[in-house]
Amino acid sequence: MLFVLFSLGATALPTDRQGEDAKKAERDKLIAVAREIMTAARYCALVTLDSRGRPQVRTMDPFPPDENMVVWLATNPKSAKVAEIRNNPRVALYYFDSAAQGYVTISGIARLVDSREEKAKRWKDEWKAFYPDREKSYLLITVTPEELEVVNEKRGITGDSIRWTPPAVRFRTGRSND
């Protein structure tokens, strides 16, 4: 009897490991497809909440996501979006790629960065007209993802056909979900 229990327990371990490997592979695939869409789209929409709780949407020219899917953007420090982020750092980014028939939505936490080093690293020459004084008129925003949703019709990533719930990836951020 002891031998049977031990044998059953031993066969369950690889199955659990296979399930974890399959989940990781699916997560990696969704993130890779999201990166493709984000790169192809070039521009994204940044959604913040104003002081009355209403969504405000702006077209932004982001940098490609880093290895952790953190997205960097730039703005003028006097813009309304900066005040909105200071008031409520929860934001969303939306990317759309018509060729892929797909989109990515990232819900996350925004942070304002005014570091001279970071601003020097994250600069696009085509922004010169928008930020003539890079010391005073240029501020960075990072968005650390909490959740990513992705749809790509051409790749067969469509989500739930009944409720239209897209596939999602949750990220560990070190923050509570309040």
What pLDDT score does 20 carry? 84
Q: In terms of Cα–Cα distance, which of 97, 78, 82 is closest to 46?
A: 82
Tell whether domain 2-170 is in CATH 2.30.110.10.
yes
| % of residues, the chain, pLDDT over 90 | 69
pTM: 0.84
Q: How confident is the model over 80-105, as a mean pLDDT? A: 96
- Which range has the worst mean pLDDT, 26-30, 60-64, 132-136, 173-177? 173-177
CB-based burial label for 13 (10 Å; 0-12, 13-18, 19+): exposed
User: DSSP 3-state assignment of 47?
Assistant: strand
Tell me the pLDDT tens digit for each residue of 64-78: 999 999 999 999 999
Residue boundaries of the structural domains of the chain: 2-170
